[in-house]
Amino acid sequence: MEINPVRNFAGETSKNMELQISNGVKKAIIPVAGLGTRFLPMTKVLSKEFFPLADKPAIQYIVEEAKNSGITEIIFVVSPGQKAILSYFKKSPELEKILTKRKKEGLLKELHDFQNKFSDISFSFVIQKEPKGDGHAILQAAKLVKDEPVAVLFGDDVVDSETPATSQLIEIYKTCSSPVLCLKAIPREKIPAYGSVAVEKIASRLYKIKKIIEKPEPSQISSDLVMVGKYILTPEVFDYLKKAAPSKRGEIILSEVFDKMLSEGKTIYGCEIKGEWLECGDKLKWIKSFFYMALKDPRYKDELKQYLKTIK
């Protein structure tokens, strides 16, 4: 496994789109530079992507999803000085040496199994110096993406599914070579807290996006579908990101860029994915997601269920 810190980029030549599609999507951007203000004061010392779901941090589920979807290169977008995520996925020779000396064979095997799981993934990182929006974060990785399609996976959204959520999106991309958004149906009364979409149904679970409305008023809701933080982006999206005007808060917002593309006649698809959507965007949602994973794990579920019955 290679960890390659990247700060300055060199220009690269474009590749033929047909080659991109035949090769599928092999790169993923994972933005983790957010301040995590909803989790203060915990995020003063621990980035929220390391909050556990059962006995694994949320970021591990995201990386495993990428790997199981055929991704071979992951680009983290980090804030200045944020190095824990790089240390987590690289080998730990000193720790291996200590475990060997102490004859902790079981723990050593567990560590080796973890490290080997990601041995065929190339990791790199870029730095977002200031929190200027999710679109701005993604844009920092543009030169590493080159002229290729790329998955974008945000750490707030974990999906427990038989077929990885990213893989479901990639399969749609292979048929259309257009951007693909991850969608989920939720109760209408909850939609005003999310990014709502107006859609035209194409096939089962496949839609053409007509409009995106962030945190809509009830009168603006035209479907029960909202966006999950997973996308397949094409090079054209990066062209729009580079030209995007900052919002009133000085941020470049990905959903606003998508809506700009739609207003100019560009085609964007949505895939209503199969699986359980586990949100980790605030404390209560994270706690619920933690219990979901813990109660599903065969190592813990029976004893946990018995324990929960004792709590009054």
The answer to whether the CB of 294 falls within 8 A of the CB of 174 is no
CATH of the domain at 133: 3.90.550.10
**pLDDT score for 206:** 96
Q: How many domains, the chain?
A: 1
Residue numbers of the domain that contains 142? 2-310
Of all residues in the chain, the percent with pLDDT exceeding 90 is: 70
Q: How many CB atoms lie within 10 A of CB 32?
A: 24
104 Cβ contact partners less than 8 Å away, ≥ 6 residues apart? none
Q: pTM for this structure?
A: 0.88
In sequence order, the β-bridge partners of residue 130 are: none
Q: How far apart are CA 41 and CA 44, in angstroms?
A: 6
286 Cβ contact partners less than 8 Å away, ≥ 6 residues apart? 39, 48, 51, 279, 280
**pLDDT score for 17:** 41
**pLDDT score for 18:** 42
Q: Dihedrals φ, ψ of 251, to 5°?
A: -115, 150
**pLDDT score for 19:** 38
Positions of the chain with pLDDT lower than 70, given as ranges: 1-23
SS in 3 state form for 197-242?
EEEEEEECCEEEEEEEEECCCHHHCCCCEEEEEEEEECHHHHHHHH
Verify cis geometry, omega within 30 degrees of 0, for the bond prior to 235. no
Closest of 7, 253, 275, 270 to residue 138, by C-alpha? 253
Sign of CA dihedral 60, 66, 69, 71: negative
